[in-house]
Every structure is written in C-alpha cells, then in structure tokens.
Amino acid sequence: MNTIIEFVKTEWNSFSKKTKIALLVLTALVGLFGIFAIQILFWGLGYTDMNNTFAMGLWIIGDLGFVALGGGAFFTGFLLYIFRVDKLEPLINSTVLIGFMCYLFTFILLVFDIGQPLRAWFGYTYPNWGPGLMPQSMLTEVIWCLTFYFIVLCVELIPVPLKHKILDKIPVLHYTGHYLHRLMWIMAAVGTFLSFFHQGSLGGGMWDVLYAKPGWWRAHHQFFFMAIVAATAGGTCFMIMVPKIAERIMKKEVAPKESFYTLARISGVMFTFYFIFRLYDVYTMAATYVPMADRSFADTLGGYYGWTTLIPELLLCLVPITILNVKKLRENEKTLFFAVICGVTAIVFSKIGVVLNGFSVPNFPWRGFAGYFPTVQEWSIMIGSVATMILIYWGFAAYLPLFPHMKEQESEE
C-alpha cells in the first residue's frame, strides 16, 4: 500500500501545473457525475426535462453520438484485419480503446435513460412478439448487438494491457495476449457484422419506422443504411482526432504520419458518400415522405433544432470532403486536424437533429413546436461521461503501450 501511495505522489509531482489543473477539473466533473447519477437512479427522471413529448433527451444524443463515432473502431479494425491495410496498425490500439469507451458509456447512459435500471433486463427478454412469433422491437436487436459487440471490444482490448513490460514477462499472460492477437481477424469480422446491424438500427431504423412522425418517417431503412455510412465517415475522423489531440498534449509522435493520412483518405471518401446520401435523404423527405403527412419539409424544420442543425451539418460535411480528398491538404497537420474536427462535429449535429428536431416536430400542423432544455443533472452526467473517458484514455496513453510507435521511438533514443 505504501508503495502505491509513493508511486502516486511521485507521479503527481512530476506533472506540470497545467496538467495538475486539468486532472483536478476532470476529477471534479467525474465527482459531479457520481453525485447526480445517484440522484437520478434513486429519485427518478423527474430531475430531467423529459416529458411525454420528449421521451428521450440529452442522454440519447450521447448514445447515438458515442455509437456513431465509436463505429470508427469496427471500420478501422475491418480495414486492418480483413482488407490488410497494414498502415493502420499503429492506430489500432487507440482505436479499440476509443470504441470500448464509447460502447461502455452508451450502456451507462442507457441505464439512466430507461428510468428504472432494475428493469434493464427487460430489453433483452421482451422483444414485443408480433404475428408468427416474430420480434417487433428494434430496441431488442440494438441491445443484443451492442452487448455482443461490447464483448468483442473487451476481447480486442485485453492484449493492450497484457503488452505492458511487467505483465508481458509472465508466461501465461504473454501467450494469452499473443494468441488473442492472432485471433483479431475473427473478432474484426464478427464485430463488423454486429456493428453493421446496431449502427443502422440505433442510428436510423428505430426512427424511420415511426409513421406518425413526419420528421422521421421515410422509406424503411433508407435511414438505416445512411446511419452506417455516417458511422464509417465520422467514426474514422474521430479515430484520427483523439490521437492527434494526444499527440499535441504529449508533444510526441504517437503514430506514423502515413497511418493518419491513410485513414484520413478513407474518411474523405466515406464523407463524400455520406454527403450524397444525406442530400438524397433530404430530397426524398421533401419531395415524397413529408408531403404524405400533408406537410411541407420546411414546416418540419421550423423549430429550435431544424434549420439550425441541418445547415451546419451539411456545411461541416464539405470541410472533410474538400480537405481529406486532396493529398496536399490532408498531409498538412493544421488542415487535417481542422477537417477531422469538422467531420466529427457534423455527425454530432446530425444526431442532435434526429433526436431533438424529431421529437419537437408536432404530429399535427395546428400544434406548435416543442422545446427541450436539459437540466443541470443531465449536463453533469453527459459531461462527466466525457471526462471519465478522457481520464481512461490518458491513463492508457501514459502507462500502457497504447501507441507502440511512440514506445519504439523512445527505445531508439
């Protein structure tokens, strides 16, 4: 115990003043998360702004955002282990960790969102049986796929801590990590299969089947496939953005530039597909599906979250399309960083639009738009989740071989 205390003191004293302040702020945010989590879990959703109009609020935006951005993990793993894009290997540990955290906190936020955590198991066991004993609940499919894919991510993450110089000296752990690493192509294939379904179901399929909502309903699973493309585009940007931020903070090259450029090029292509798909989606909604409810598409964008989410989303998509598809621009550190931030933000805006604008659009034209204003408790749990993810990532980057390329450089020096 004394050894641990001495280690913590030594590490703390080695940090710069700015690092200490950042860690204290992050720890305070995690503390607020814990306080308000207890309040919500024990005293219920009355401390949120949810109501009969907004059955889901800030946390479901977090869920959709985490899942979409974490989707870059399955896509990067698929490219590396199945298509053998070996230049992505220096980024794979970081990618798996980000995916693991995104899916972990998707589950955590869902626990708060359902209101009665003791009944969380209902999502697994009550699939709303329909005609011919066919399950009708898309949420059941989402929960099962999320669970299995989270297990896959856990298996993929295990080799990272096992490669620590102390643990690697233990024969059993050494061979466990070695053989798990050799099975990664199977995990990547299974993860891609599972992620394909829950990305589409949670990101789009749950919404486009709601026929009474003119802001959501369109040709079945048009939105399903668009959500998958969005995850591959925004997720790959997120897999670049996070290690790039770590690189700037640590002031060290965490992965070869060629790894970032390769993933950036792929992301630029996927954003091009997403932008075209999104324009097609807007066109079909305006020309076909919204008029079927005797409304105009512009009428569904008249609330707080309509035009103010759609226009920024489309404009932000143009940035990664313009920069990441041009070799000279994507190989410039400043423009690359700007492009991936814009790409991530575009996907976040799309999820805000799906949830908030979808709920705010009235079912009948004579009713006004509804507004949603998250409470302090909601903001604290949402921001606290992000703070916890930052601390976990920082711990892995500082004390575990998250970036093998950086460790190789240090050993050479």
DSSP 8-state symbol, 129: B
Residue 223 to residue 207: CA distance in whole angstroms: 8
Let me know how long the chain is: 413
Beta-strand ranges (E) seen in 212-343 are none
Based on its alpha-carbon atoms, the radius of gyration of the chain, rounded to whole angstroms, reads: 22
Q: Looking at domain 22-48+86-154+182-388, does it have CATH number 1.10.3470?
A: no
CB atoms within 10 A of CB 412: 6
Which of 267, 249, 231 lies closest to 350 in space, CA to CA? 231
Q: What is the pTM of this model?
A: 0.93
Q: Return the structure tokens found at 17.
A: 């003043």
Mean pLDDT of the chain: 87
Q: Return the structure tokens found at 58.
A: 């800030």
Residue with tokens 């998958």: 228
pLDDT at 4 over 80: no
pLDDT at 23: 92
In the chain, domain spans: 22-48+86-154+182-388
Which of 329, 331, 340, 153 lies closest to 233 in space, CA to CA? 340
**pLDDT, tens digit, for every residue of 149-206?**
888 888 888 888 888 888 778 888 777 877 777 888 788 888 788 877 778 777 777 7
Confidence of residue 125 (pLDDT cuts 50, 70, 90): confident
Q: Mark out the alpha helices in 114-205 (DSSP H runs).
A: 122-125, 138-157, 159-162, 171-182, 184-200
Residue 6 to residue 19: CA distance in whole angstroms: 19
Residue 364 to residue 367: CA distance in whole angstroms: 6
Residue 119 to residue 113: CA distance in whole angstroms: 12
Residue 213 to residue 297: CA distance in whole angstroms: 12
CB atoms within 10 A of CB 38: 10
Is the distance from CB of 149 to CB of 191 less than 8 angstroms? yes
